[in-house]
Structure 1
């Protein structure tokens, strides 16, 4: 095994081990950890939400969930962070995808592909921008820290179908906040 492969495998095991340290106690406090950068690890989160390691999908959902709990975005990119290691990974679009939606008493509750539940509101806004390549709406939802989830197309269409028109824009409401999905007649109706 090459030194690089050994370092990556060791780094992967160390990240998994650190993430397992606090089961059932919520998310690890990655915002408080400031280890030295240890290098890059060959993990890519594809735009379709698939986590890849050394060119192969990570097939165990539990492992992906575990890694997602120690993911952090810093000014220089995305990292898996433990108290003693910081390994840079690649993210093609956004690290998470919002894949289910529940409506409950004026609230929009999303679940991500890694199992996070996020209620849209002041702390977790829905933002819709236009994709510069396709020209189509690119909706996202704030999850935690500087981590966002791409709202999958089917959920976005569901939001559009239930939106109201206010001031020439399609809007949805959640937890007392309103979120613009786009102007009426701009391809989101």
Structure 2
């Protein structure tokens, strides 16, 4: 990302940095596996423990802050414990999108249900990924420490609408730009 873009969108990038600054240093914690926990994060980002949805947002945010992805599995970690959990599609879920245009450049700001803020850019790419059980590829964004977020249907449709407004359609691909990068959403 160019210095010009960083200066232009400094306030948005600061909101992203602020959301990740309060996270615990889970990348430094290396406990042994404690076992499997009866917890699943479903496709809509709901955290289900022993069959019941965790309804307290503060509890979900706490769990999300100690989540790691290692060797194709998700774990909740503390300095002394490591519990494997199940994730249907992605552990985080995007519920809001904002678009800022400045000096001819666009930035897409995404917010997850757990309060993570991410600006779509080279370090936080938006991509379409195939999953078993899904007829169409699903839109995901890399949020932090190799954790991805699935975009809610409403957010994805909003981004597709923005892309359609600005797409030249020369190559038959629908794409959106953010922070000087182009992200392919599909073909038409």
Gap change, CA 1:145 and 1:25, over 3 Å in 2: closer
Please give the residue correspondences for 1:34-45 in structure 2 after superposition, counting only pairs within 5 Å: 34-45=30-41
Provide TM-score, normalisation by structure 1.
0.80
Aligned counterpart in structure 1 of residue 75 of structure 2, from 73, 79, 83: 79
Q: Distance in 2 between matches of 1:141 and 1:61?
A: 21
What SS is found at the alignment partner of 1:155? helix
1:49 aligns with 2:45: yes
Counterparts of 1:26 and 1:133 in 2: how far apart (Å)? 35
Q: Which has the higher contact order (CA 8 A, sep 6+)?
A: 2
Matches of 1:174 and 1:35, distance apart in 2: 38
State the shift of 1:76 in Å. 4.7
Larger radius of gyration between Structure 1 and Structure 2? 1
* 1:28-177 superposed matches below 5 A: 28-105=24-101, 106-163=106-163, 164=167, 165-177=169-181
Residues 97 and 166 from structure 1, CA distance in 2 versus in 1: closer, same or farther, beyond 3 angstroms?
A: farther
Q: CA deviation at 1:146?
A: 1.6
- CA RMSD across the alignment: 1.6
Q: How many residues align?
A: 161
